[in-house]
Amino acid sequence: MALVPGGVRPRFGGAPGGVPIPNSLPVPDGNGVHGNGSNGVNGDAASPGRLQTAAPPPREEAPVAAPNGAGGNTTGIASFLLTEMEMPEDTDDADFDEEMLRLSHKVHTLLVDELGGQQFKADDRDRLRPVAQQVMNDVLKDEKPLMPKRKAVLLEEVLNEVLGFGPMQYLLNDPTISEIMVNSPTDIFIERKGKICRSRRKFVNEAHVMNIVDRIVRPLGKTANARTPMVDGRLPDGSRVNIVIPPLALNGPSMSIRKFFQKKLDSESLVGFGSMTEGMRLFLEAAVKARMNMIIAGGTGSGKTTTLNIVSNFIPQGERVVTIEDAAELQVYIPNLVRLESRPKNIEGEGEVTIRDLVKNALRMRPDRVIVGECRGGETLDMLQAMNTGHEGSLSTVHSNTPRDTISRLETLCLMSGLELPIRVISKQISSAVNLIVQQARLSDGSRKITHITEVQGMEGDTLLLQDIFVFEQKGRSAEGKVIGRHRATGFRPKCVHEIESRGYNLPRNLFQPD
């Protein structure tokens, strides 16, 4: 048995702190890098002239007591490692199987012939149910008898094929599922409560998937074909969908759907989920109402859009707001609201309207604030200029992993504007435009938390000064795999507090005191 160095958790999911692991699994070498070569690089030969140390002969290690009273039993640890490496299967959809897919497809085919081209809407479910049930009963006469529960499930699947989005409709109706990922007709994965698992759902073939794709994109005035194999869109409930079809998608049509919660989330919900504390909520609310410019940053799926939705609803109801997005998904509940959405090129390669075009036009629409769903190109420079020219309190999101990375990301995006500006000029634009960075992260247990609220405090020489106001400290993981940690104030009183309070939004005196 080999030992993991104390306190180091290997990347492949092993147990921490000197717990024995099977020799068959990779172990960090002397340089802390996984590999078989003595130079610490994955299996590469050592470079000439470098000091090489011969690997000691294998020997039996003395047993070491596992933490938490595990008693050094490696069987449980090995099974834990194996569990982390396997993809779990969704157990909440036990009624769907290959037989259900075959029968629903057969009934649907005959039902379409029976309807003879009649058009139905999603709310025609009750009107269509008797016809579908009659066709289903006729088909089942030649099949093995089904239990009443299976018959009811089959009928709903048939109705979903006619009025909904086929096998995916059940997943779309499930409020506990946040993402649906279709990799191929037979590979569908979901994210439920922050964890990804394989769904039992399947499509019959690629033509079946393309039929559903057509239902999604046609109402949007878009097409998915060989000339436009990548399409962004949204479902009727506002859920965001990205579609890639062959020849770009090698395993068949692919769909990625990020669902919207039907229940409106508010800031109290995030506090209840543990995504932030009540003190952080009070500070963000005061900062938005006092028109502080804010960037919400984080990785993919970290909850940036959710936080942007919640923070944007702190905006006073009497202000005029313009939102700009690639695919409309923001839910801003303000009376004087204008929603703009970019448009890709058409089949002839014309008619494109970019986010940057919309940002420039938005400044002529007399907005009090501009909200850009995500800055990912040259529009970042226009956004910063808007923040600096009378549109204080504007909001946007970017992809980055830390507050310092957010600054670097903004600088890089500004350079994509095509203007040859010195990096120092861009940095000064950022320092004067951005007041706060709200950093999001999706942790290892699937939970999403605000990990930093950081103030941009200006420049010192060529360096932007950042000061953390609130941070999340992760201390470990529980036996169930839950992240253990807490939010805390760093003890620094932000410079923007004076401006916030001068606008009439007073904060508790002890809000920034460390626990």
What does the pLDDT read at residue 489? Answer: 95
Residues 480 and 356 in one domain: yes
What does the pLDDT read at residue 514? Answer: 87
Contact between 157 and 104 under an 8 Å Cβ cutoff? The reply is yes
Given the DSSP bridges, would you call strands 254-258 and 240-244 parallel, antiparallel or unpaired?
antiparallel
Residues 19 and 123 in one domain: no
The answer, yes or no, to whether residue 501 has pLDDT greater than 60, is yes
- Distance, in Å, from the CA atom of 367 to the CA atom of 334, rounded to the nearest integer, reads 13
User: What is the pLDDT averaged over residues 325-352?
Assistant: 85
Q: What is the DSSP letter of 436?
A: E
- Distance, in Å, from the CA atom of 299 to the CA atom of 303, rounded to the nearest integer, reads 8
Residues 218 and 298 in one domain: no
What proportion of the chain, given as a percentage, has pLDDT over 90?
Answer: 53
How many independent structural domains does the chain possess? 3
Residues 110 and 223 in one domain: yes
- By CB neighbour count within 10 A (0-12 exposed, 13-18 middle, 19+ buried), where does 201 fall? buried
pLDDT-derived band of residue 85, with 50, 70 and 90 as boundaries? low
Task: Tell me, yes or no, whether 515 lies in a domain.
Answer: no
Please identify, among 258, 285, 300, the residue that sits at the C-terminal boundary of a domain. Answer: 258
Domain extent for 6: 1-45+60-86
- Pick the more confident residue, 257 or 388: 257
Indicate which CATH number applies to the domain containing 322. 3.40.50.300
Give the pLDDT confidence of 219-270 residue by residue, as tens digits.
Answer: 888 889 888 899 988 888 888 899 999 999 999 999 999 987 766 778 898 9
Among 26-35, 249-258, 289-298, 415-424, the range scoring the smallest mean pLDDT is 26-35
What does the pLDDT read at residue 297? Answer: 96
Task: Tell me, yes or no, whether 53 lies in a domain.
Answer: no
Nearest CA to 19 out of 55, 60, 73, 56 is that of 73
Nearest CA to 325 out of 396, 373, 259 is that of 373
Residues 16 and 69 in one domain: yes
Distances from the Cα of 319 to the Cα of 288, 294, 311, 315, angstroms:
12, 17, 15, 7
- Pick the more confident residue, 194 or 69: 194
What does the pLDDT read at residue 486? Answer: 93
Residues 217 and 120 in one domain: yes
User: Is the model's pTM score more than 0.75?
Assistant: no
Task: Tell me, yes or no, whether 326 lies in a domain.
Answer: yes
Among 35-39, 157-161, 232-236, 391-395, the range scoring the smallest mean pLDDT is 35-39
Residues 116 and 65 in one domain: no
User: What is the pLDDT averaged over residues 326-350?
Assistant: 85
Max mean pLDDT among 49-53, 195-199, 466-470 falls in 466-470
Across the chain, mean pLDDT equals 83
| Bridge partners, residue 192, by sequence | 177, 195
Residues 105 and 132 in one domain: yes
User: What is the pLDDT averaged over residues 453-471?
Assistant: 93
Task: Tell me, yes or no, whether 511 lies in a domain.
Answer: no
Among 79-83, 293-297, 467-471, the range scoring the smallest mean pLDDT is 79-83
Give the pLDDT confidence of 32-61 residue by residue, as tens digits.
Answer: 444 444 344 444 444 444 334 444 445 444
The answer, yes or no, to whether residue 93 has pLDDT greater than 90, is no
- Distance, in Å, from the CA atom of 67 to the CA atom of 97, rounded to the nearest integer, reads 42
- Distance, in Å, from the CA atom of 341 to the CA atom of 240, rounded to the nearest integer, reads 13
- Up-side HSE of residue 69: CA atoms within 13 Å toward CB? 1
What does the pLDDT read at residue 51? Answer: 36
Please identify, among 214, 230, 258, the residue that sits at the C-terminal boundary of a domain. Answer: 258
Among 49-58, 146-155, 328-337, 469-478, the range scoring the smallest mean pLDDT is 49-58
Task: Tell me, yes or no, whether 403 lies in a domain.
Answer: yes
- Distance, in Å, from the CA atom of 188 to the CA atom of 107, rounded to the nearest integer, reads 23
Residues 215 and 318 in one domain: no
Task: Tell me, yes or no, whether 507 lies in a domain.
Answer: no
Residues 6+ apart with CB under 8 A from 30: 40, 53
Residues 156 and 210 in one domain: yes
Contact between 329 and 373 under an 8 Å Cβ cutoff? The reply is yes
What proportion of the chain, given as a percentage, has pLDDT over 70?
Answer: 83
What does the pLDDT read at residue 62? Answer: 45
Residues 128 and 241 in one domain: yes
Task: Tell me, yes or no, whether 171 lies in a domain.
Answer: yes
The answer, yes or no, to whether residue 358 has pLDDT greater than 90, is yes
Please identify, among 258, 287, 317, the residue that sits at the C-terminal boundary of a domain. Answer: 258
Task: Tell me, yes or no, whether 416 lies in a domain.
Answer: yes
The answer, yes or no, to whether residue 17 has pLDDT greater than 90, is no
Among 146-160, 313-327, 339-353, 415-429, the range scoring the smallest mean pLDDT is 339-353
Residues 254 and 285 in one domain: no
pLDDT-derived band of residue 194, with 50, 70 and 90 as boundaries? confident
